[in-house]
Structure 1
Amino acid sequence: MRILIINPNSSLEMTEAIHKSACGFAKGDFEVVTLHIPESSPFVATYEDHARAASGMMKIIRDNNDDFDAFVIACHGDPNLDLMKEICDKPVVGIAEASMKMATMLGDRFSVISPVERNIPNKRVLIEKYHLEGYLASIRAPQKEDEGKNEEQRLMGAARKAIDEDMAEVIVLGCAGFAGLDKSMEKELGVPVLDGVVCALIVASGMVRYGVSTSKKRRYNPVF
């Protein structure tokens, strides 16, 4: 089995972090390849960023469709996910959809830790799109008092508040760049902490093994 992970931004550093987390999960049971979009933004946050990444994402899927069994979109905004599902006949899994839906199976309510406060409304809209608002405890971002700390410490502050103040029972890491922080945070917090890249690989590899893919009956049928 071969799964291609698409990082929709142009950051090589984030691409390497995503790939390291993915390989750590795959452990040789299946092959993972991670590609970025050189012409995209360094960080995909706005709807304009989504648009800038679209053509590069389409090209990667079309150029590699025959060589891979599934595709993962490694950005927690799930940019252009519907478009990728439409043009691809293999499973295409977004890390936001996979991690948040998995969170509903692991606890009563989940909280998403966003990298910045500006992204909170965008994540709320995405949660509503997936009909998961009834499972949502909160969406939090690191606060000013956490400035100067390392990334994991900043996320821990927001996660603790989500658990203690918002009644969250599961924490979803709301950025592909947070890949690899899940287990150390989980150990300290005492609740499941989900890395979206890993969640998407669980779903994608399971779909491949089960022999199912995106329905082309209506919504994702590319033929009008």
Structure 2
Amino acid sequence: MRILLVNPNMTVSMTEAMTTIARTVAEGRAEIVPLTATKGFPYIASRAEAQIAAGIVLEMIAQNLNGIDAVVIAAFGDPGLSGARELFDLPVVGMAEAAVMSAAMLGERFSVVTFSPLMTRWYADCVAGTGLSGRFTGVRTPVTREVDVCHVASDLRADLIALANVAVREDGADVVILGGAPLAGLAPEIASDVPAIVIDPIAAAVAQAITLSSLGAGFSGRACKPAAKSSVGLAGALSKIIAMEAAQ
């Protein structure tokens, strides 16, 4: 089994950190094929940026489908997730959705803790999209808006632990999701400091991608498959898939 790990952020160090986690989760059950965006943003941090990144995600997947059994979109806002599921005949998993679905299986109420208030409403939208808002206690973030995404996990570690504890104590969460690719790998490090289950979204996404691929479901039979059509100015591989000219 081969899983394409698509990071629509341009920061290679994030891809490397998430790939390490993914390979640990896979434990020989799957080969992880990492891919980092070469255009767009160093880090996607808003709904507007996620809309732009969605098209980039579709291009990245289309250009790298050969021999792939499942795709993980390695950005917490899941840019391009619904569109990718319409176009590509294989399991496509998003970090945010996978984390939320896993949280719902591990506890009754869950919270998202992240590192910037700029992403609060966007992340709440991601939860709403899963239909699980009734079990969601909200997003907790530090006050600061300016962060170094390459070092945020270490720079804000104490703040994130404190926020996770507030989510448990005041909001009633029994599962805490650490939202955002820059926080990959932090969950197991702080688990003993938080009186709740702490979820690493990339770990959840890879585990679910392996499971979905193992089901052997008929992904080519999706009712939402769009009709074939021509396009102008798109990347060649994506254009062919939209026109249904290429085997997937």
TM-score by length of 1: 0.91
C-alpha RMSD of matched pairs (Å):
1.9
Secondary structure of 1:105's aligned partner: helix
1:50, distance to aligned residue in structure 2 (A): 2.1
Q: Secondary structure at the match of 1:65?
A: coil
| 3-state DSSP of counterpart to 1:212 | coil
Greater than 4 Å deviation, 4+ residue runs: 213-216
Q: Which residue pairs with 1:57 in the alignment?
A: 57
- 2:6 is equivalent to residue 6 of structure 1: yes
Q: Greater Rg, structure 1 or structure 2?
A: 2
- The question of whether the paired residues in 2 share the 8 Å contact of 1:92 and 1:214 is answered with no
Matched with 2:159 is: 154
Contact 1:104 1:110 in 2 (8 A): yes
Letter matched to residue 49 of structure 1: E
Deviations 1:53-99 (A, max 9, x none): 23432222112223110000011111111111111111000010010
Kindly state the Cα deviation for residue 35 of structure 1 after the two structures are TM-superposed: 0.9
5+ unaligned residues in a row in structure 2: which ranges? 229-248
Tell me the distance in 2 between the aligned counterparts of 1:206 and 1:72. 12
Give 1:170 shift.
0.3
- 2:105, 2:55 → 1: CA distance? 34
Residue identity opposite 2:123 in structure 1: K
Does the residue aligned with 1:223 lie in a helix, a strand or coil? coil
Q: 1:140 to 1:214 in 2, by over 3 A?
A: farther
Asked if 1 retains the 8 angstrom alpha-carbon contact of 2:99 and 2:205, the reply is yes
**TM score, norm. by length of structure 2:** 0.83
Aligned residues, how many?
Answer: 221
1:179 to 170, 184, 203: 184
User: Which secondary structure state, in structure 2, belongs to the residue aligned with residue 39 of structure 1?
Assistant: strand
The separation in 2 between residues aligned to 1:75 and 1:34, in whole angstroms, is 13
Identity fraction in percent: 33
2:122 matches 1:122: yes
Displacement of 1:184 after TM fit? 1.9
Q: Distance in 1 between matches of 2:219 and 2:11?
A: 29
Q: Equivalent of 2:214, from 202, 209, 216?
A: 209
Partner residue, 1:193: 198
How far, CA to CA, are the matches of 2:206 and 2:126 in structure 1?
20
Residue 214 of structure 1: how far off its partner (Å): 4.5
